[in-house]
Each structure stands twice: as structure tokens, then as C-alpha cells.
Amino acid sequence: MSQKTTEVLDGNAVGDAIKADLADCIDTLTDADVTPGLATVLMSDDGASETYVSMKQKACEEVGINGFHYELDPEAPAEVLFDKIDELNEDPDVHGILVQMPVPDHIDKRDVLNRINPDKDVDGFHPENVGRLVAGNARFKPCTPHGVQKLLEAANVETEGKDAVVVGRSEIVGKPMANLLIQKAPGGNATTTVCHSRTDDLAEKTLDADIIIAAAGVPELVDGSMVPEGATVIDVGVNRVEADNEKGYELVGDVEFESAKEKAGIITPVPGGVGPMTITMLLYNTVKAASLQEDVEVELP
């Protein structure tokens, strides 16, 4: 009897291949005297946010993007952050601006997103960029869902005509993910269901799916009993759960990996699946931003 084999997608490998292509784009820009620049702004003492920002800066350095990093006092008034954003909007060396979320409670996140020049909004969260994505004319696709799309493409997972279930409807993952999947474009054309915390029977939806994308922020929400035989399972979730180790915690996804792997045809691990793709697509958007602002054509991967 033949053993069932499940393909475990390697987000690091797919991300590295895209980074190699981005390095060629950066060479083209450098030949035209342009060095792409990404500014990150951190206004938080949160350890996880600090880690995310430093990973982003490190990734920039690796591919030859100029990184500019600013840390603002989390107690400072909103104007301090807005002034910094205004300054970066005007700075010709900065092609992309990323304000690490969450910002402190006394600042309205929407005011921050609205303040960033949409041409430099490499997160793709400015209302103009959200509108363009929905209209099928995206300038910057949000990094995590774009990374998922690239992972599916790398694994030759056809989305056209397939049933996709997205678990989660956040502005940063669920909604843009669903928007990409329904576009009349490559990597789209999927019949897409969006589930959320008020969904009546989640398993009923996922059991009908060819592709499940879990982005709920609930540890191991999707287990093997919810996965149809041969489905593609993409786990966006990154959750810290208590563990009996040195750190006192471990990272788990929104999918119960072992039981889901028994059923899935293709699955992503946590860590090492979607995570590395998110950072790669931030580099992609920064290179795209530089190319558009400086009017230098590059062949994006």
C-alpha cells in the first residue's frame, strides 16, 4: 500500500528565490543611481513589535535596500508621529514607509494610515491602496496575503475555479486575502468564502474547500477533522502558547499541523511558512515603490 505524502511548503526557500530576483531589480535601480529606501517607525515598547521591525531592517540590509529606522516615545503626542511621517513623505531617499502596528492607544490607527503618502505606503493599508486592490488595480498588495499568493504560485496550486475558504476578516490579512483570491487575474478567480468569529459552522465551510487559508489568531483552530482529503492548507497564524521550555512559550499556527497534515495535500508549517514570505513581499513593495517613484523600469518577480 502506498503511503500518503503531503508536501510541506518551505516559505524560506520560496522567499529566498524571490529575494534573488529582487536583487537583480535592485542592481537595475543602482545602475540608474537609485538605492531603494525603507523607513520603519516604531512607537512601542512591545518586544514582539521590536523584533518584527528589526527583522524587516535586517532583511533590507541583506538585499541592498537602505534602511532608516526611527523610534518614538510611546508617550509622545500624536503630532510627533505625524511630523515624522510628513518628514519621511518628503524625503527623496525614502521610497517606502512602514509604521509598525499597533500604535499607542491615544493615536487613531486610521489617522496614521491616512497620513502616509500612498505612493510610499508599502504595507498597502492606505484607503487609496485598499481601494485600488478592491478595484483590481493594486499598486501595493498587502505583504502577508501577497506572500500567500506567491506561495500558492510556487507550489503550482491553481486557484482558478477552486473553492477557497479564508478564516478571518481582518484589514491586514483576511479581507485583502479574499480580495486577491476573487480578482479576475492570475492567482485569483477562486470562489471565495470568508469566515469569521460569527460563522455558524466553520467546519462545514472548510470541509467544502480546495484551499483553506487560516488567519484567525486562534491556536490550532483548524484541525484534521476540518480538512478535506488533498486540500491545500495555508497557515497564517502565529500564536505564542505556554510551553515547558527555556523561553516558556512556543509558536503555533492557527492549524493543528499534525492532524491537518494527515489530510492535506499541501500544507505550510509554523514557523517557516507564511512568515518569511511576509517580509519578502515588503522588500518587493519597497523595490516597486522605488521603481515607480524614480521611473526606472524593473522586472519584478
Which residues here bind ligand NDP, judged by CB under 6 A?
A: 144, 167-170, 172-174, 195-199, 202, 215-218, 221, 236-239, 274-275, 278
Quote the least distance from Cβ 87 to ligand NDP, whole Å: 27
Tell me, yes or no, if 109 is annotated catalytic. Answer: no
Nearer to ligand NDP, 39 or 274 (CB): 274
Catalytic residue among 121, 123, 235, 254: 123
For 221-287, give the DSSP string. Answer: -B-GGGS-TT-EEEE---EEEE-SSSSSEEEE-SB-HHHHHHH-SEE--SSSSHHHHHHHHHHHHHH
Tell me, yes or no, if 293 is annotated catalytic. Answer: no
- Non-local (6+) Cβ contacts of 75 within 8 A are 104
Q: Is the dihedral of CA 151, 40, 124, 185 positive or negative?
A: negative
Q: How far is CA 91 from the centre of its chain?
A: 25
Nearer to ligand NDP, 213 or 298 (CB): 213
Tell me, yes or no, if 56 is annotated catalytic. Answer: yes
Nearer to ligand NDP, 216 or 231 (CB): 216
Quote the least distance from Cβ 91 to ligand NDP, whole Å: 27
CB 70 within 8 A of CB 39: yes
Nearer to ligand NDP, 138 or 234 (CB): 234
Q: How many DSSP H helices and E strands does the chain contain?
A: 10, 11
Question: What amino acid is encoded at 42 in this protein?
Answer: L
Quote the least distance from Cβ 52 to ligand NDP, whole Å: 9
Catalytic residue among 19, 100, 149, 254: 100
**In the complex, residue closest to ligand NDP by CB:** 170
Active site residues: 56, 100, 123
